[in-house]
Amino acid sequence: MPLTAALYPGQGTRDHAPAQAALRERLLSAVVSCFKRHGAAAIDTPVLELRETLVGKYGEGAKLIYELKDQGGELLALRYDLTVPFARYLAMNKITKMKRYHVAKVYRRDNPATTRGRYREFYQCDFDIAGQFDPMIPDAECLKIVHEILSDLQLGDFVIKVNDRRILNGVFDVCGVPESQFIPACCTIDKLDKIPWEEVRSEMVAEKGLSPEAADRIGEYVQLHAADSHRVTPISVPCLSFQASGEKLRTTETQVLVATPQKHLLAARMKLISELWDAGIKAEMLYKKDPKLLKQLQYCEDTGIPLAAIVGEQELADGVVKLRDVATRKEVDIPREKLIDEIRRRLEP
């Protein structure tokens, strides 16, 4: 091999000089700080997964998986994303509810376009809330997280596009696409941000087997463009703890749980927790519309959250928040405008 061949990284990868590494660290730090502020626990999974774990999970993306040679009878591959390994982690450990974040490199055997930021090795920053909860409460928090991160990074104006696969499936249905072709058609539609509609249509008809009539009907939807319309585009719990030497090890850094004692106060909880997040306080709430107060307080004790901010009908009427010290169970009413300062005072080392 010529000496010069060793002077370059592999195609689709890159080195990071000190200045670039410092900038990346600053960016990732802002992302992780937000994830922690929302009560997520960090996990880590191997960069190597069993091939059978990954293949079949990504549709057309499966052809971009980096498969490795037989390693003594074990067929392995480099992880393609962080979502499938997370699903494997949940299933393997029989976990049904978890709020986690994971920041790590992933690998795709793609044709690199470095001038457009497409690499074969890159970081993903995942935040997922796994489990069954009351509708739209976790979704609202995920949108809040995206807004906080993009605002914190000061990237300029931005638009958050919300995806609901059911809408796209509904479009396919009314356009006459057989259900068996929903996933192939979706994979092609996802290319609209890279190639023009004419090429997308051609692929759906020539390669995916859709009828020209169905493709044209889909085109009527995806080409709609108005100031108030959004194209469908993809945008991811009780914390795990364990005993070590008789002491409970916290897996999150949550400082406050926002709780309500009566029904129909979801909006009040979400308003208060948003104020805490905006002030940089690490806070959580349960993803139930009307959780029982005892269950909320028990969650604090189980996970080691030191404070509970309780807002009920009387507190709303009086303009106060009841602040509870979880360890001593002492409660005191704090004027709403002084709550942030009081929380910070109590959390000082």
Q: How far apart are the first and last CA of the chain?
A: 59
Rounded CA-CA distance 194/51 in Å is: 28
Tell me how far apart the alpha carbons of residues 45 and 100 are, in angstroms, rounded to a whole number: 12
Q: Is 82 labeled as ligand-binding?
A: yes
How many whole angstroms from its chain centre is CA 296?
A: 24
Residue carrying structure tokens 């929903």: 182
The structure tokens listed for 161 are: 């596009």
Contact 152, 280 (CB under 8 A): no
188 labeled binding residue: no
Six-digit token string for 166: 């059911």
Determine contact, residues 120/63, Cβ cutoff 8 Å: no
124 is an annotated ligand-binding site residue: yes
- Written as one letter, the residue type at 179 is E
The token pair that represents 270 in the structure block: 């979400």
**Residue 196's Cα: distance from chain center in Å?**
29
Q: Which amino acid is present at 312?
A: G
83 annotated as ligand-binding: yes
Binding residues for L-histidine: 81-83, 108, 124, 128
Binding residues: 81-83, 108, 124, 128
